[in-house]
Structure 1
Amino acid sequence: MSQEKDNPNNTDNTIDNEQVTPVGEPFSDEISPDLPPVDEGNDLSKLKDELAESRDKFLRLYSEFDNFRKRTQRERLDLLKSAGADVIIALLPVLDDFDRAQKAFSSTNGDSALKEGVDLIHNKMVSLLQQKGLSKMESVGKEFDVEFHEAITNIPAPTPDLVGKVVDEAESGYLLNGKVIRHAKVIVGN
Structure 2
Amino acid sequence: MNQESTESIEEKENIQEENVSENQQPEISVEEQLQDELAKEKDKFLRLFAEFENYKKRTSKERIDLFKTANQEVLQAMLPVLDDFDRAWSQISKSEDEALVKGIQLIQEKLKSTLVSKGLEEVEVKTGDAFDADFAEAITQIPAPSEDLKGKIVDVIEKGYKLGDKIIRFPKVVIGN
For the Cα contact (< 8 Å) 2:95–2:101, is it kept in 1? Answer: no
TM superposition shift of 1:46: 4.5
> How many pairs does the alignment contain?
158
Q: Which residue of 50, 72, 81 maps to 2:68? A: 81
Aligned to 2:121: 135
The DSSP-based 3-state class of the residue aligned with 1:168 is strand
Q: TM-score, normalised by structure 2?
A: 0.72
* Structure 1 stretches lacking a partner, 5+ long: 1-27, 33-37
Q: 1:155 aligns with which of 123, 129, 142?
A: 142
Q: Percent identity?
A: 51
For residue 104 of structure 2, what is the amino acid of its counterpart? V
1:146 to 2:142 alignment: no
Q: CA RMSD in A?
A: 3.0
Identify if the C-alpha distance between structure 1 residues 42 and 147 changes in structure 2 by more than 3 Å, giving closer, same or farther. farther
Q: In the alignment, is the contact (CA less than 8 A) between 1:157 and 1:163 conserved in 2?
A: yes
Higher relative contact order (CA 8 A, sep 6+): 2
1:80-101 Cα deviation digits (max 9, x unpaired): 2233222111111000001111
Select 2:49's aligned residue among 62, 82, 107: 62
Aligned residue among 151, 155, 165 for 1:178 = 165
- Deviation, structure 1 residue 112: 5.3
Instruction: Kindly state the Cα deviation for residue 69 of structure 1 after the two structures are TM-superposed.
Output: 0.7
Report the TM-score, using the length of structure 1 for normalisation. 0.68
Query: Larger % of helix: which?
Result: 2
Identify if the C-alpha distance between structure 1 residues 45 and 182 changes in structure 2 by more than 3 Å, giving closer, same or farther: same
Aligned partner of residue 131 in structure 2, secondary structure: coil
The alpha-carbon deviation at position 128 of structure 1 amounts to 1.4
Structure 2 unmatched ranges of 5 or more: 1-14, 20-24
Query: Aligned equivalents of 2:27 and 2:49: distance in 1?
Result: 32
Alignment partners' CA distance in 2, 1:48 and 1:165: 71
Distance 1:42 1:189 in 2: 83
Q: Which of these residues, 117, 120, 138, is aligned with residue 106 of structure 2?
A: 120
Cα distance in 2, alignment partners of residues 138 and 128 from structure 1: 19
Larger of the two Rg values belongs to structure: 1
